[in-house]
Structure 1
Amino acid sequence: MWKRLLKLRPAALVFLRANLGKGSRIKFWYDIWTPLGQLILHIGASGPRNTRIPINATVNRAANATGWCLGGSRSQQELDLHIHLTTLPLPASSVNEDAYVWEANGAVPKHAFNMWVANADRLPTRSRLASWGINIQTCCPLCSFHNETRDHLLLTCDFSKEIWRLLFERLDCSRHSLLSWAELLSLIRGPQAFPTVTLHRISVQTIIFHLWKQRNNVIHNQISLSTAEIFRLVDRDIRTTITAKRKRKNFASLMSFWLR
């Protein structure tokens, strides 16, 4: 029996989450304590060497009273981790013990992570980079008219507003646009048991992810897609998410809501 239980460990790991407290119990590389999943898989075998965090270190060994003690980022995966860590309180300042919880939800990990960082207003937008003293132009890469802040880029830019309009048209919603981050949060609040709330959460996370991806493609790869093309990618991801989780109770009717 115990051998059979051991074989289930990889399946169970998907649902086991570590809530960070003092960080003395949570394994930095192997426990799932960030939206990025197991960091050893997210960053790769070179992670411990690049970040100077030993393979068996606990999370509290990666920080001190003044900040996180990681080496400079050498890849997008390591940069993702650095950005996420700026949203967390330091283990040394916590009075709570680490805790492990069983969690099953419908979020796509990369979408949930991107939403986490955006909600904390820690996305490295041009305005934010300029505030750090970096000599960089601050105009929005999607419209070229306004400074690139989180709220402008993801909500009020003409490019983004068209994506949201297409979403609200699909959801048969009374809204036509979003004017503030508080409005966006109000859209996704509510009991997860309600199908429409679940669909709103999936849709919002997917759009935020693709808008940020499009922004990076314009800046780094000189690839510019139309709003219609972006929304087709959003539509594909939402359908894939619903289909993959269709056997869950709060996902069973979502496809009919999305396609109506």
Structure 2
Amino acid sequence: MLKLRSIAKTFYKRELGNGRQTSFWFDNWSEKGVLSEVLGDRGIIDMGVAKYATVEEAVLNTRRRKRHRTSILKDMEAELSVIVSNLRSEEEDVSLWRRKSGYRKTFSTQETWLLLRVSKVYCDWSRGIWMKQATPKYAFMAWLAARDRLSTLDRIAKWSQGTVTTCVLCNLGT
């Protein structure tokens, strides 16, 4: 599960209301993504925002540095100035989950699974081979033949060098 953490992060986002429940550095609320990953530890120092501050605390912090040398930090300051006007003190922050049609407030296990899995072509011959009345030995042989995995003479010749490839019935070359 921990190995899939980076994939799971792409399915979760926060929409700002009042900014009190959203972490400034560790939640995905910005257009740029999770700020601790974008700016790193040096960004935390350069911005002058506490490591565990909420978005509301970061916006209302008057002691943080406003002028920066790098363009990404200047862009973050511009984004923060826009957020100041958009914060709504009466509304809570909302968790959003990625769906096929974009981010929504409800989570769907089915849609998440469909977005994660690799869909393959439908196998239309399987019901003809794997049926209730089939003899397992013959069903297995038919399955091998359908998958082109039978140990025919041409396939055996590829595996081992020096195999005689003449036909056993008519003694002609294949």
- Which TM-score applies when normalising by structure 1? 0.35
Q: Deviations over 1:226-260 (max 9, x none)?
A: xxxxxxxxxxxxxxxxxxxxx89xxxxxxxxxxxx
User: Equivalent residues in 2 for 1:85-104 (5 A)?
Assistant: 85-90=80-85, 93-103=88-98
Displacement over 6 Å in runs of 4+: none
1:133-167 per-residue CA deviation (whole Å, 9 max, x = no partner) reads: xxxxxxxxxxxxxxxxxxxxxxxxxxxxxxxxxxx
Matches of residues 186-201 of structure 1 in structure 2 within 5 Å?
none
Instruction: Return the offset for 1:49.
Output: 0.9
Q: Which structure 2 residues correspond to residues 180-219 of structure 1 after superposition, within 5 A?
A: none
CA offset at residue 42 of structure 1? 1.6
Amino acid at match of 1:102: W
Query: CA separation in 2, counterparts of 1:42 and 1:69?
Result: 22
CA distance in 1, matches of 2:83, 2:31: 12
Structure 2: 5+ residue stretches without partners: 103-117, 120-174
2:41 maps to: 45
Greater relative contact order, per chain length (Cα 8 Å cut-off, separation 6+) = 2
* Residues 15, 94 of structure 2: 8 Å contact kept: yes
Q: Distance in 2 between matches of 1:89 and 1:70?
A: 14
Q: 1:17 to 1:92 in 2, by over 3 A?
A: closer
- Give the 3 Å change call, closer, same or farther, for CA 105–53 of structure 1 in structure 2: farther
Shift of 1:93: 4.6
Larger helix proportion, structure 1 or 2?
A: 1
Q: CA RMSD in A?
A: 3.0
Identity %: 27
Give the structure with the larger strand fraction: 2
- After TM superposition, the score normalised by the length of structure 2 is 0.50
Deviation at residue 73 of structure 1 after TM alignment: 2.1
Structure 1: tracts of 5 or more residues without a match = 108-246, 249-260
Q: Which has the larger radius of gyration?
A: 2
